[in-house]
Structure 1
Amino acid sequence: MLYSKYKWRIRSAESSITGQLAEELSLPPIVASLMASRGIQSAVDGREFLYGTLELTHDPYLMQGMQEAVPRIRKALEDREHILIYGDYDADGVSSTSLMIHLMRYLGASYDIYIPHRSNEGYGLHNHALDWAHQQGVSLVITVDTGISAVEQIAYANSLGIDVIVTDHHEPPEVLPEAYALINPKIPTCPYPFKGLAGVGVAYKLAQALVEEPPEEWLQIVSIGTIADLMPLTGENRVLVKHGIESMRNTRYEGIRCLLEVSGIHVEQVTAVNVAFSMAPRINASGRLDHAGRAVTLLTTEHREEAERLAWELDGLNKERQQVVETIVQEALGMVQNRWRGQEIPPVIVLAGEGWNVGVVGIVASKILERFYRPVVILGIDPESGNCKGSARSIPGFDIYAALLSCKESMEHFGGHPSAAGMSLHRDRLEDFERGLIRYAEKALKEEHLIAVCEADLEASISDVSLSIIDQIEQLSPFGMENAVPKIIFRNAVIKDVRKIGKEGKHLKLRLQQKREVIDAISFGCGHLADILPAGTAVDVLGELSVNEWNGSRKAQLMIQDISAPYQQVFDYRGIQEPIQEIRRWVADLEPHLRCPAVRAAVVYAKDSHPDIKSQLYDMCLWVYDRNAGIMPENEAAKSSQQDISVLFVLDVPETAEQLEALMSAFHSVPNIFMLHPTRNLRERLQIPNREQFKKLYVSLARLTNAPMAENEVITRLQKQTSLSSRMLFKVLDVFEELAFIQRADGMITFISKPEKKPLDASRHFRELNDLADMEQHLLHAGTEQLTEWLMSRTKGVS
């Protein structure tokens, strides 16, 4: 049984609304159903969703603070004041700063920019930066994607005679700074109707107010920041991003064009998904491992050569970032294992490490969250100062910003959203900080919050998803937060082919079939699942549809997000080399899919066959075959966990049918069974005995043994007359001896000429041979399908 990573929940879509949308908008039912599941209730809403123009955006003067900000900026322009654009180092901050540069150039302003260094300075407005601005003659600071929490810093700016206009979209604190103007739709008194703008979206509204009709190409920059900052692609954001992506397909911005080319994306085919997974990580890499100014220069340069150089530099930084992340993730996973070995993991995971690059801790937090599905805080500790900087990532239903607010006394600074946040504190406060978060989580988190849920749009058959349907689904783009790429469930699809692809076999490629219809499917990062998804396996899959274009050919393709095989399975690895090493690897790699932590993994073997097993698999449930009891627990783990076993590894074949019966009885409900026992030479196979065969052997034996003969000699001669193995012939002699047809003594055999007549099945050895031969026929020599059916039949009805 392959468990899904998520609980699948299908969005509801009323059939009446689906029918209405399909009819009035001339849509295929599957596309109309996808729209209805996204909350579109009428054809009017549907037309706006599909064909909405920039006329649907809101008046920027509805934004509180705009009436004060615009005249102040106009005055600065008229008086040739020097303006400082103060940004942030993430992709939204980079985009916001870049947009303001385009605006300043358009307005002919005298300006500078400042973005703090993530590692050396940290998030937010800093007094030393204001001192520098004052020395440069700055009299007006405009913050983008930051500033709403900078109470003390803005007070300091005021004391220097510098006016500050804040444009931000982060959660406002209880006490707001006394800035010249605060522009943030999330301020409780702000009447602006759409609250989901990114920092670059708020900056764009300021540009709209100043320019009235900004160049449409500026929306390319808005798209990047909005998508990268995981803002909802609904309402006004959808309109801005949709037009931005369309503009990007004909971009004249050299930086955007080069970044797309470096990412392997055809500029004319760019999508919001490409921005999220290819462009945004490279832009973010600049601020994570270097300085974000490099990415700002890329997005604002007008020179092709400079753009090419910077794009390749960001690509290199992104590769370096990936390696740094992987190293920290492995260290963090080791910490989890060591800190909570054998214990329940707390509702919030807080991990801190010396030297961890604070530029990537947010990504690490996301990966640890995905592994354990609970809120995570990852902090890098400066070993000299003891200062910690970290990032938090949360799960639906748990507001991490509110959680941080509950223990704000432990931190020097914090800020963020309900799903992601950042903070700084001293290592001496780490324990208080962790206790405070756990205390809050124990009250706020419920059991259902800790179950990962993946929302699917609908169930379908492979026959439902033609290329034309996939093309029409694309009308629902741009896809992103709150308008996700449609996820579709396909049930009972049979795997026709399975392969590991990519570097080191990291990815999984399947060919799935339902009836006569076939589709290729890819699962990134899941190459290890090939070990438990052999051809012929029936699976349920949840995935996203795409089109694979190659050499002018277009084929439907499924990008798998989750997969399950909802039935008991047997995995045939008979004769595998280094089985103990493989068991360790499987338990580590497949635990989320087989739910097999060491305490729920059972290993059955013949005593003394694997002398090092206790030291290598000490934390698993070890069982050995026993002549009397069938199987016996060999360690303490086995004595306490038998009923909770999720995977069984069989290292050796049972010696008797009774041992097999005991094995099947003890583990009849185990979802996954791995057969790892050695194979045996066919020349040593046992055959299921029959009376005619035994009659012929009896006659042959009578001819051979007129006088006592050495047993080995008898076996040699009988082998020449039959096709039976020596092992089989020894078993036959055991039967004849038990029935008093022969006598054995000192390695010699004497034939009894007139024995008492007895039926063969009166012999216990005959009955055992029958059972043993049948067992070995299946365990050692049957094909995988026959072996599986036989084992499954043995578990049915056993309790």
Structure 2
Amino acid sequence: MEWIKRTAEKLDPELIEKYQLSPIEAKLFSLREINTDEQLDYWFNATEDDLADPFLMHDMEKAVERINQAIDNEEKIMIYGDYDADGITATTIMMETLSILGANVDFFIPDRFKDGYGPSLAKYQEIVANGTNLIITVDNGVTGVKEVAYAQEHGVDVILTDHHTFQSEVPKPYALVHCNYPGQAYPFDDYCGAGVAYTICRALMGDSMTELLDLAMIGTLGDMVKVSGEGHIIVKRGLQILNQTERPGLRALIANAGLQLGELNETDVGFNIAPRLNATGRLSNASLAVELLMSDSEEEAKLVADKIEDLNNQRKDLTNDTFAKCMTQVRSKMESKNTQVIYDPSFHEGVLGLVANKVVETTHKPTIVLTDGDNGELKGSGRSAEGFNLFDALNPLKDKLLTKFGGHDFACGLSLKKNRLSEFIQAFEASHHSDEKLPPKKFDFELEEKNFTLGLWKELQVVGPFGTDNPVPVFSLTDPAISQFNKIGKDKTHVRMNVGKQSKLALVGFNLPYLHEDLLPYIGRLYIQLGINTFRNQTNLQGIIQDIAYQAPKLLRPERVIDLRKENYLIGFADKYLFFDKKNIVVAKTKWGIKDEQIALADEYQNTNEIVALVDAPHNQTELDQVLTNQYQQLYLRFMLDQLPVKAIPNKTQFADVLKYVYAHPGLVPEEYQAASDYLHLEPETIMFILRVFFELGFIKLEKQLLVPVNNPVKHPLTNSKYLLATNAQLKFTKVLRNMPSRQLLEYVNNKLG
């Protein structure tokens, strides 16, 4: 991963003096382009009274008039919400406000398993049939073209309130209140659903409605919308309200999470409160969470909060179990793929997105996780690795392979017919863009040892709350003096260490199973975020490792050739990374963020006296010997990747099964034969390998791009195939190269280098 340092003009000394900023506070504000008197005054002093006039938002006046009319006429109002933390808090905001105004109001939260995501025509029909006069959507609706039309045509007005991206066709409700409606006058464009609902309630009440800010804040952080501009007011003031909340439901939820009122910050909300609300929609019905937030009884709130805590614990267990099963599948599949699709009928639908995210964090590959749905369909969630737009990749498949699809750059939900799974796997892999690379990440500045104090944490809070559009500060630690390194966690996949010569800063690193003491000398720079750790009533500053940059420890490793085959991580300090197969270069760019100028093909490399890493496996000994004729300062042996067409040569029975299938189903394109992988109990890659062998031996042929069997072909043994023999030789050579004892490999390479 490439990191670049943020740069900005220094803050005006007069502003530093006026707002009494420390050097670190001033630097962080300047790096976030909060650098004028007006901006700083807004940051420190703006409150909910400074929010824009709610009537600037599109159709707000129509919406308020229609709601007031419904209240005056005692019409039946239905709030149509959503099952995530944003939809839950948005629903609660609308319910509380309309109840205060004396409305005849009820709410509906879709059931993930029965109703699916977003508007449901069947549910709209039911709501209309039940005598509802007005439907108000919160955190959903922009995709409900048919649903809104049905309600309007049957005399039920719809006030659509949402924040999601408009599709090509926009519904036509009675009123459409949207924070990002094209051309509207409202100055802030990135509210969440709860933020839009809060704005409507400000308009309805003619008041700033301070008591609703805790809910709007939870929705904002849960949905990861901007915490700059008006989002800053919502989150900052919402946290203040939350820390002194009298809501029995929130107090019970906070207690069950092991948090302390008065000390809650945005991290607590994002990682403890919002996930608990989300758990209700993942495993049960999110109406439970609305009941909790609306509860005015401590006893009732405790009972509901305990149910939610049980659901959250189930969610954690299900996520961990499903993730473990996914990784078992991942390890059993070919490593050469750039994408992965994981299916298991036992997976629980409610945790698929969480699991897909964990798989991507571990494998750095775009991932789709699927389970059985209804009517012979599979349904699932996808998450993407950085540098790959998942929505753009899958959107062209929407009408070809997918029965349902929606999402954004890095996440999606989808459904498809089960019998088209193999075809989808191939199409998803084909969608991967080989020319994409990871964008560089940004860090703020080098953290000096003198700042390893709790005082630094207090300074950071001045520049917070942090979130989307106000990123958590990232600091670098160059040539860190590391001590007391330990593996921690149940599976010893996390690490703890201290850095510093005089002052010490404790660091923790999550999901770093490859890191061990022998690699510590290679660490050239650490990138960290900061937090606090309280243990036995002692509170200390703590760093959380975000990334590690490596360097060659020349004094500690003077050897000319170093064997790093057993390290499951690419040490990122070489001058050049050599590849025997150019297809593997995309991994270097997307997974490890290696720059173009550091990459070269082995057969084209002509430089001398550089630190070089051999990243992938050569196809044969000749390729290896050729690259060893160069002069290197140091050579690191990795052999991590390959482009083997199969993991093992198929047996005769598998060859025969494929040939029988071709004779029984002539005239298909090769990809259609691959789609029979489930029937043949073979990987699609294995089928393609067998077809290539048969083509070379003259058992099958191409006619108008379709494969057909050859009538009465000349019989040849499979070993007559040069492709099969070459692949077999490559498999054997790669296996030997990766498993050869280190002493034997180093002796061979050193002798060749001369």
> TM-score scaled to structure 2, two decimals?
0.72
Matches of 2:511 and 2:441 in 1, distance apart? 18
Q: Does 1:489 align with 2:456?
A: no
Q: Does 1:460 align with 2:453?
A: no
Matches of 1:429 and 1:34 in 2, distance apart? 51
The residue correspondences of 1:139-538 to structure 2 (distance < 5 A) are 139-339=133-333, 341-346=334-339, 349-382=340-373, 385-394=375-384, 399-410=389-400, 411-428=402-419, 430=421, 442=433, 446-448=435-437, 451=438, 453-513=440-500, 515-526=501-512, 529-530=515-516, 532=518
Matches of 2:45 and 2:513 in 1, distance apart? 40
Deviations 1:207-239 (Å, cap 9, x if unpaired)? 111112143121101111110111121111111
Matches of 2:431 and 2:183 in 1, distance apart? 28
Would you say the 8 A contact 1:273–1:480 is kept in 2? no
Would you say the 8 A contact 1:283–1:295 is kept in 2? yes
Matches of 1:48 and 1:643 in 2, distance apart? 66
Matches of 1:528 and 1:430 in 2, distance apart? 33
Deviations 1:56-110 (Å, cap 9, x if unpaired)? 3222111112121111110100011111111111111111112122112211211
Matches of 1:289 and 1:260 in 2, distance apart? 20
Letter in 2 for 1:224: I
Matches of 1:113 and 1:441 in 2, distance apart? 42
Partner of 1:11: 6
CA drift of 1:176 comes to 0.8
CA drift of 1:357 comes to 2.1
Matches of 1:511 and 1:643 in 2, distance apart? 43
Q: 1:155 to 1:78 in 2, by over 3 A?
A: same
Unaligned runs of 5+ in 2: 558-563, 574-578, 581-616, 640-745
Unaligned runs of 5+ in 1: 1-5, 573-582, 601-634, 646-661, 674-790
Would you say the 8 A contact 1:321–1:360 is kept in 2? yes
Would you say the 8 A contact 1:406–1:436 is kept in 2? no
Deviations 1:112-161 (Å, cap 9, x if unpaired)? 21111112221011122223323432111111111111111111212332
Matches of 2:509 and 2:289 in 1, distance apart? 31
Would you say the 8 A contact 1:171–1:416 is kept in 2? no
Matches of 1:522 and 1:18 in 2, distance apart? 36
Matches of 2:248 and 2:72 in 1, distance apart? 31
CA drift of 1:188 comes to 2.6
Partner of 2:590: none
Of residues 497, 507, 532, the one that matches 1:547 is 532
Q: 1:401 to 1:565 in 2, by over 3 A?
A: closer
Would you say the 8 A contact 1:82–1:140 is kept in 2? yes
Q: 1:303 to 1:446 in 2, by over 3 A?
A: farther
Q: 1:129 to 1:246 in 2, by over 3 A?
A: same
Q: Which has the larger radius of gyration?
A: 1
Q: 1:531 to 1:106 in 2, by over 3 A?
A: farther
Matches of 2:301 and 2:623 in 1, distance apart? 61
Matches of 1:255 and 1:592 in 2, distance apart? 48
Q: 1:439 to 1:315 in 2, by over 3 A?
A: same
Letter in 2 for 1:122: G
Matches of 2:488 and 2:625 in 1, distance apart? 37
Q: 1:157 to 1:200 in 2, by over 3 A?
A: same
Would you say the 8 A contact 2:549–2:572 is kept in 1? no
Q: Secondary structure of the residue that 1:547 maps to in structure 2?
A: strand
Q: Secondary structure of the residue that 2:481 maps to in structure 1?
A: strand
Letter in 1 for 2:470: N
Q: 1:155 to 1:438 in 2, by over 3 A?
A: farther
Q: Does 1:557 align with 2:551?
A: no
Would you say the 8 A contact 1:50–1:476 is kept in 2? no
Matches of 2:442 and 2:306 in 1, distance apart? 37
CA drift of 1:22 comes to 3.2
The residue correspondences of 1:621-636 to structure 2 (distance < 5 A) are none
Q: Over aligned residues, Cα RMSD in angstroms? A: 3.7
Matches of 1:146 and 1:355 in 2, distance apart? 30
Matches of 1:571 and 1:404 in 2, distance apart? 48
Partner of 2:653: none
Letter in 2 for 1:529: L
Would you say the 8 A contact 1:494–1:538 is kept in 2? no
Q: 1:430 to 1:200 in 2, by over 3 A?
A: farther
Letter in 1 for 2:57: M
Matches of 2:114 and 2:424 in 1, distance apart? 23
Partner of 2:99: 105
Would you say the 8 A contact 2:466–2:472 is kept in 1? yes
Q: Secondary structure of the residue that 1:315 maps to in structure 2?
A: helix
Q: 1:76 to 1:436 in 2, by over 3 A?
A: farther
Q: Secondary structure of the residue that 1:175 maps to in structure 2?
A: coil
Q: Does 1:40 align with 2:34?
A: yes
Would you say the 8 A contact 1:60–1:205 is kept in 2? yes
Matches of 1:671 and 1:20 in 2, distance apart? 56
Would you say the 8 A contact 2:387–2:436 is kept in 1? no
Would you say the 8 A contact 1:365–1:377 is kept in 2? yes
Partner of 1:83: 77
Matches of 1:519 and 1:175 in 2, distance apart? 54
Letter in 2 for 1:37: L
Partner of 2:636: 670
CA drift of 1:568 comes to 4.8
Q: Does 1:56 align with 2:43?
A: no
Q: 1:104 to 1:437 in 2, by over 3 A?
A: farther
Would you say the 8 A contact 1:143–1:165 is kept in 2? yes
Matches of 2:389 and 2:509 in 1, distance apart? 31
Partner of 1:708: none
Q: 1:188 to 1:335 in 2, by over 3 A?
A: farther
Q: 1:51 to 1:82 in 2, by over 3 A?
A: same
The residue correspondences of 1:16-27 to structure 2 (distance < 5 A) are 16-17=10-11, 21-27=15-21
Partner of 2:651: none
Matches of 1:530 and 1:644 in 2, distance apart? 33
Q: 1:441 to 1:185 in 2, by over 3 A?
A: farther
Matches of 1:541 and 1:555 in 2, distance apart? 19
Would you say the 8 A contact 1:507–1:523 is kept in 2? yes
Q: Name the count of aligned residue pairs.
A: 600
Deviations 1:20-79 (Å, cap 9, x if unpaired)? 653443212222111111122323212222332223322211111212111111010001
Matches of 2:156 and 2:186 in 1, distance apart? 27
Matches of 2:212 and 2:452 in 1, distance apart? 36
